[in-house]
Chain A
Amino acid sequence: MVTAWLLIAAMPVLACTSCGCSGGGTTLGMQLVTVRNYAGMIWQHTGLTVYEQGEPHSSFASDTWQVYGSLQLPGKWHMQARLPLVWNRVTDHSPEGDQTESLFAAGDLNLIAGYQAMTLRSGRARHTLFVQAGAELPTGKYKADFVQAGLPPGFYPGSASIDPLAGIQYILSDSAWTAMFGASVKYSLPNADHLQEGLFWQAQTVVARSLGASGRWVPFAGLVAEHRNGYRKYDFLNEESAYSVAHGMAGMEYRGDRFSGGARFDHTIWQQYSTEETTNNGAYSVYVNWFF
């Protein structure tokens, strides 16, 4: 079984227009690429805090549940689908008390077709290359007046546009070791309100090792880098909503015969937001997969 960890562009921009900053999403959903059919679910928590003069000014927290699945198609093709449910909270901290706005809603349906472009064996090593292309469809909750309401761009999880995306994954696997490098890019089209999310790309590398004779316990670690351009409305570019962030991540996975499950923690090691007082709080996630 070929297994790797693909982080697909799906997370909304986390930004804080009410505090002059913008934030970055963290982990985008660990998506297995495997030669088997599977379905799964992942829960992720991400957060962002904006400080002013050392005190928290506002914060953004997001919990995302995603259900997803992958089917092998004839030839070397596979098809993946993913639907997020998002619980977003943005809080303004003030001496008079905190004010929180929250939203629980569906995000954009993500459909991807993939092709196993290369499989090579070299001694005990196996090299595999996947290419993927697809789109996020406008199924998610969206409101045009989020800026006027003082809400960050990612507060509503939908983009109200068709967003083409593409990615590649290279996997090098040995008997116990697996290394993966992946990259993905999402280009959002303008929606009916002339709002266009910024170009998003992500690159990640993960190394995993199966432990013991059974090889069921698999610790893994890696690096994730992502960047998003600012959004546009008509010809106005909101540069404050652009960000770049890099995470170190580590986790553990258990692989059964028919299921796998794991947990992962992401720690921010570098970030660039519109203000230096914005802090990405990292992320953690738990997931489970069923194979069939």
Chain B
Amino acid sequence: MALAAVFSALTSCTKDEEPTPTPEAYSVTINIIEPSEGETITSGSTVHLEATFENDNTIHNIGVWMVGEMMNDTLYSYENHVHADQYYEFHEHTMPMVMEAQEYKVIFASWDEDPAERIEKHVHVNIEP
């Protein structure tokens, strides 16, 4: 009886220790084409926001923001569930207007379900009045 109990305990323990499959972590390669790092932009002129997103499965959500480093103001914001197969191109134009010169971070990001777990890449631009 004692042996059976030990055997039972061992087998149940073995069953409990079977590795449970973990979901593959979301990955994406972001390539920023425009703007370039350190680019100076005049207020009111056209800024090109262009990047490619690539992975081996599905690209779910993408986001693009232009956020002031000093004032934390947002000049551009875009979020979309693109659900693209392995490849997506983002290309939009915007005409930022500023009253004072400031450095802005242009962020390109992608995430699966939780925006907090987004993968991002960014460049800095200087926008002048």
Known A18-B50, A52-B46, A150-B34; judge A235-B91 contact (CB<8 A): no
Partner of A235, one of B48, B85, B92, B93: B85
In the assembled complex, A292 has its CB within 8 A of some CB on chain B: no
| B31 with A234: CB separation less than 8 A | no
In the assembled complex, B33 has its CB within 8 A of some CB on chain A: yes
Binary interface profile of A, 1-27, with partner B (CB < 8 Å = 1, else 0)? Answer: 000000000000000011110000000
Residues of B within 8 A of A194 (CB): 86-87
In the assembled complex, B123 has its CB within 8 A of some CB on chain A: no
In the assembled complex, B27 has its CB within 8 A of some CB on chain A: no
In the assembled complex, A121 has its CB within 8 A of some CB on chain B: no
| B34 with A18: CB separation less than 8 A | yes
Binary interface profile of B, 73-112, with partner A (CB < 8 Å = 1, else 0)? Answer: 0000000000011111101110000000000000000000
**In angstroms, how far is the closest chain B Cβ from the Cβ of A256?**
51
Whole-angstrom CA separation of A234 from B92 in the bound complex:
21
Residues of A within 8 A of B91 (CB): 17, 20, 240
Whole-angstrom CA separation of A235 from B57 in the bound complex:
12
Binary interface profile of A, 198-233, with partner B (CB < 8 Å = 1, else 0)? Answer: 000000000000000000000000000000000001
> Which of A129-155 touch B at CB < 8 Å?
147-148, 150
Residues of B within 8 A of A148 (CB): 31, 33, 52
Whole-angstrom CA separation of A235 from B50 in the bound complex:
18
**In angstroms, how far is the closest chain B Cβ from the Cβ of A259?**
47
| A238 with B85: CB separation less than 8 A | no
| A234 with B87: CB separation less than 8 A | yes
In the assembled complex, B8 has its CB within 8 A of some CB on chain A: no
| B33 with A147: CB separation less than 8 A | yes
**In angstroms, how far is the closest chain A Cβ from the Cβ of B109?**
17
Partner of A236, one of B48, B89, B92: B89
User: What is the interface of chain A, defined by CB distance below 8 A to chain B?
Assistant: 17-20, 52-53, 57, 147-148, 150, 194, 233-236, 238, 240
18 more CB-based (< 8 A) A-B contacts, given A52-B46, A234-B85, A236-B88: A17-B33, A17-B91, A18-B48, A18-B50, A20-B91, A20-B93, A53-B46, A57-B46, A147-B52, A147-B89, A150-B33, A150-B50, A194-B86, A194-B87, A234-B84, A236-B87, A236-B89, A240-B91
User: What is the interface of chain B, defined by CB distance below 8 A to chain A?
Assistant: 31, 33-34, 45-46, 48, 50, 52, 84-89, 91-93
